[in-house]
Structures are given as structure tokens and as C-alpha cells.
């Protein structure tokens, strides 16, 4: 199914009820007292749908596509202002912005979250719309996908508050047994439960809840035993002062797994936030595999990045121990030479 079809179908789904949030700033001051709210709602929805269809069909110019998506979102936001009890404008506004600026089917730019960058203003605008759908239409069958995509965006933003909300969304998905193999929402990412468990485990670790992170990583590995999950479990063990278990896991995976994982990380899949977090992984993996000089470089880069202050002391301990080991080896070598 092409994007144009997916977007047209996505605009043909359910309604609901509302309150103010971040998207209000984007609403143009067009709903005046003399304007009939129902007429304004219908006109704005039609305008938004037309701009959405044009955005979906415009494949030659990414700037034009982006402008059309923003025009569609503004129209839907006017519709939401005209009918504060409707969830559908929020769904359509959030989805057109998500498809263009997060899913990035037709736009390639540094602001596209899908390419590793984060346009925070756009992300929060999308999140605000998705929150309104959750609030106004709690039984909407499309909610599982909203929860998953919202959690991913919040993880990218990586503040403590965003991570806490992401954790809640992942927990809700698992509590409802959703695997996100959805019907009726064309074109969206499919997220099997193993991925949800893995993302939740990473979120627990980022929030400092290592007990929950370890338990959840173990569940994730049972469902989807891939290298990134195993490395995540190892990192959680190490940060929980269980370094021997962590290194055992990494050593069992070996150098080939490390090389494959490194290539995937270069493609931002999996991604690690905040910037610098990936160097904790590289530091511990290199150390466990005996690549001590590379490990020293990685540990230094993690510390210099300032990522996750709660885990900086553990990284510092690794670095100091490695420096001491390398210094002792150098001294022994020099003594033998003499």
C-alpha cells in the first residue's frame, strides 16, 4: 500500500472529546465569535484532508511535502479548536506530522527523527495530539499504535519526564497484550512484543530502575534473542554491580557479534540516547573482549559526554581499573626488556 493510500485511509477513522495542550500554539486565530463552529469544523477538516492528500502525492519536492503537511496540521488544529470535544482532528493532525517528519517516507532532513535527529518542537506537537486522542477517545482501536509511536518519540527526547511517560506507555501496551500487528491502521510500524519488552527494559535502565530493567531484558531475550537485547542485559548487570555476569554475556557473543552490532548502530538501529550512551556499551564490550585500548577511548568518550550522570561513577571505575591494568602491563614489559 502506497503512502497516498495509507494517508487517505488514515483520515477515514473515528471521533471523541478535549482540553488545551502544546498544539494550541499552532492554531491560527480563525475561530471568531461570529463563525459557526460546526461550519468551521467541517471546512477545516476538508482543508486538512485536501492538504494531506497533496502531501501524500507530492514525491518530487520534500520542502513542498513538508509545507503541505504543516498546512494540513494547522487546518486540523483549527477544527479541534472549533469542536473541542472531537478527537478525530487530533488523530489526523498527529498522523500527518508523524508520517512526514518521523516516519520520513517523503522527507529527508536533519529534523527528521527517523534519521536520528530530533525536531523537539514537532515531536512535542505530535505527542500533544496523540495525548488528546488518548484522553478523548480511550476506547479508540488505534490507541496501541499511538502509544508505541509516542513512547518512541519520548525516548528520543530523553528527559526524565519523557522517559517516565514512555515507560508508562510501554507498560500499558504489554498489560493489554498488544503486539501491534494492527488491522485498520495502514502503513504503521509493526512492533512485536519482544521489541516492546526490549524498549521498556532500556527505559527502566535509563530511569535508574535496574532491577526492573534486568527482569524485563530477560523476558525480552526469551522472545527475541538478538545481540542488542543481550548487550542491553549485560549493561544492566554491569550498572547493577554485577560485572562478572555482564562480561560473561559479552564474551559468549564474541567479536563477530560486536562487529555486526557496531554496523547496525552506525545506521541508528538500534539507537541509544542521550548522545554518548552508546560509548558505555562500546567501553564495556571492548573491555570484556580484551580490547583494552579501545575500551579506554570509549570510556573516556562516555564520561566526556556527560550522559546519564547516575552511571558516570561506574564508568569512571572501569576506566581507572583499565588504566591501572595497562600501566602495570607496560611496566612489566619494560622490566622484562631490561
247 and 135, same structural domain? Answer: no
Residue 62 resides in a domain:
yes
Among 140, 165, 187, the domain-final residue is 140
pLDDT digits (tens, 9 = 90+) for 66-82: 899 999 999 999 999 99
5 and 130, same structural domain? Answer: yes
Among 123, 140, 157, the domain-final residue is 140
116 and 3, same structural domain? Answer: yes
135 and 5, same structural domain? Answer: yes
Q: What string of pLDDT tens digits covers the 338 residues of the chain? A: 333 333 433 433 333 333 344 555 545 444 444 679 999 999 999 999 999 999 888 665 778 888 999 999 999 999 999 999 999 999 999 999 998 888 875 555 545 555 445 588 999 999 999 999 999 999 998 888 888 889 999 998 999 999 999 999 999 988 887 554 443 344 344 457 888 999 999 999 999 999 999 999 999 999 888 999 999 999 999 999 999 999 999 999 999 999 999 999 998 888 898 989 999 999 999 999 999 999 999 999 999 999 999 999 999 999 999 999 998 887 777 767 66
What does residue 122 show for φ and ψ, rounded to 5 degrees? -65, -40
CA Rg value for the chain: 24
Residue 149 resides in a domain:
no
Residue 225 resides in a domain:
no
Q: How far apart are CA 131 and CA 51, in angstroms?
A: 23
Cβ neighbours of residue 89 closer than 8 Å, sequence gap 6 or more: 41, 44, 45, 48, 76, 77, 79, 80, 83
128 and 2, same structural domain? Answer: yes
Residue 82 resides in a domain:
yes
Residue 59 resides in a domain:
yes
The tally of domains found in the chain comes to 2
Range of the domain at 85: 1-140
| Burial (CB count <10 Å: 0-12, 13-18, 19+), residue 76 | buried
Beta strands in the chain (DSSP E): none
Residue 146 and residue 135 in contact, taking contact as beta carbons nearer than 8 Å: no
Cβ neighbours of residue 176 closer than 8 Å, sequence gap 6 or more: 144
Among 117, 140, 163, the domain-final residue is 140
Amino acid at each position: 500500500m502506497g503512502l497516498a493510500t495509507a494517508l487517505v485511509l488514515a483520515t477515514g477513522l473515528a471521533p471523541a472529546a478535549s482540553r488545551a495542550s502544546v498544539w494550541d500554539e499552532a492554531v491560527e486565530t480563525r475561530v471568531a465569535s461570529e463563525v459557526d463552529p460546526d461550519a468551521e469544523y467541517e471546512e477545516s477538516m476538508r482543508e486538512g484532508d485536501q492538504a494531506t492528500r497533496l502531501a501524500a502525492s507530492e514525491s518530487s519536492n520534500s520542502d513542498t511535502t513538508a509545507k503541505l503537511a504543516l498546512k494540513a496540521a494547522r487546518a486540523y488544529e483549527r477544527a479541534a479548536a472549533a469542536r473541542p470535544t472531537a478527537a478525530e482532528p487530533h488523530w489526523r493532525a498527529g498522523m500527518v506530522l508523524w508520517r512526514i517528519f518521523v516516519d520520513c517516507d517523503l522527507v529527508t532532513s536533519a529534523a527528521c527523527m527517523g534519521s536520528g535527529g530530533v525536531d523537539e518542537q514537532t515531536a512535542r506537537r505530535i505527542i500533544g495530539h496523540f495525548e488528546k486522542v488518548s484522553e478523548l477517545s480511550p476506547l479508540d482501536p488505534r490507541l496501541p499504535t499511538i502509544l508505541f509511536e509516542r513512547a518512541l518519540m519520548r525516548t528520543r527526547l530523553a528527559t526524565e519526564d519523557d522517559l517516565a511517560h514512555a515507560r508508562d506507555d510501554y507498560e500499558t501496551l504489554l498489560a493489554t497484550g498488544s503486539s501491534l500487528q494492527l488491522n485498520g491502521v495502514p502503513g504503521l510500524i509493526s512492533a512485536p512484543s519482544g521489541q516492546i519488552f526490549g524498549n521498556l527494559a532500556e527505559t527502566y535502565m535509563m530511569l535508574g530502575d535496574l532491577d526492573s530493567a534486568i527482569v524485563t531484558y530477560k523476558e525480552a531475550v526469551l522472545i527475541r534473542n538478538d545481540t542488542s537485547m543481550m548487550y542491553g542485559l549485560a549493561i544492566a548487570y554491569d550498572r547493577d554491580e554485577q560485572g562478572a555476569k555482564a562480561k560473561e554475556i559479552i564474551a559468549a557473543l564474541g567479536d563477530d557479534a560486536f562487529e555486526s552490532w557496531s554496523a547496525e548502530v552506525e545506521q541508528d538501529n538500534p539507537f541509544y540516547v542521550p548522545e554518548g550512551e552508546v560509548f558505555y556499551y562500546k567501553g564495556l564490550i571492548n573491555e570484556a573482549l580484551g580490547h583494552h585500548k579501545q575500551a579506554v577511548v570509549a570510556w573516556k568518550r562516555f564520561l566526556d559526554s556527560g550522559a546519564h550522570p547516575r552511571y558516570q561513577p561506574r564508568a569512571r571505575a572501569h576506566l581507572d581499573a583499565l588504566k591501572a591494568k595497562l600501566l602495570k602491563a607496560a611496566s612489566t614489559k619494560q622490566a622484562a626488556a631490561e
